[in-house]
């Protein structure tokens, strides 16, 4: 085989193999993290959140879009103790910055302080920011286990052998 034929064959193989290697995973639609977390907590419920520092999910949503962040939250007597600690990519936590968001003062004034910080069914109340976002904390380590599925009975002939 001459050199020209080898070059043509190798070039053809390279050209036809490029699409196979260049295909990436199909992009998936962004999920609504708030809806995902809220659905799990509504379906399963949660154990009471104990006193101490706990991992939580901090969710913000606005106009059908949501973002969720890892957080650490202190809890005393079933209530959130401020400030929240928001996780950074490097594993550190930022205390109190609340992602540069502020609680809506009209909303905050509409509730007694005890209600504002209360934890029910593993979740905070839905709160509102000055940016017109709603937020909620999910104490995910307290969500109840997924219920076990019911076992389907085998056929009578499989169970009765005589």
Contact 64, 34 (CB under 8 A): no
Q: pLDDT tens-digit profile of 30-86?
A: 679 999 999 999 999 999 999 999 999 999 999 989 999 999 999 999 999 989 999
Q: How far apart are CA 145 and CA 128, in angstroms?
A: 30
Overall pTM > 0.75: no
């Amino acid at each position: 085989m001459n050199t020209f034929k080898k070059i043509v064959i190798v070039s053809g193989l390279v050209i036809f193999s490029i699409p196979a290697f260049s295909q990436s995973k199909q992009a998936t639609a962004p999920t609504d993290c708030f809806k995902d977390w809220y659905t799990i907590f509504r379906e399963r419920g949660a154990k009471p959140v104990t006193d101490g520092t706990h991992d939580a999910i901090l969710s913000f949503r606005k106009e059908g879009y949501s973002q969720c962040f890892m957080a650490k939250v202190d809890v005393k007597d079933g209530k959130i103790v401020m400030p929240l600690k928001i996780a950074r990519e490097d594993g550190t936590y930022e205390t109190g910055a609340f992602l540069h968001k502020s609680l809506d003062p009209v909303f905050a004034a509409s509730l007694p302080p005890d209600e504002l910080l209360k934890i029910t069914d593993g979740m905070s109340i839905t709160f509102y920011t000055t940016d017109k976002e709603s937020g909620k904390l999910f104490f995910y380590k307290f969500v109840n286990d997924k219920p076990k599925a019911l076992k389907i009975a085998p056929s009578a002939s499989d169970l009765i052998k005589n």
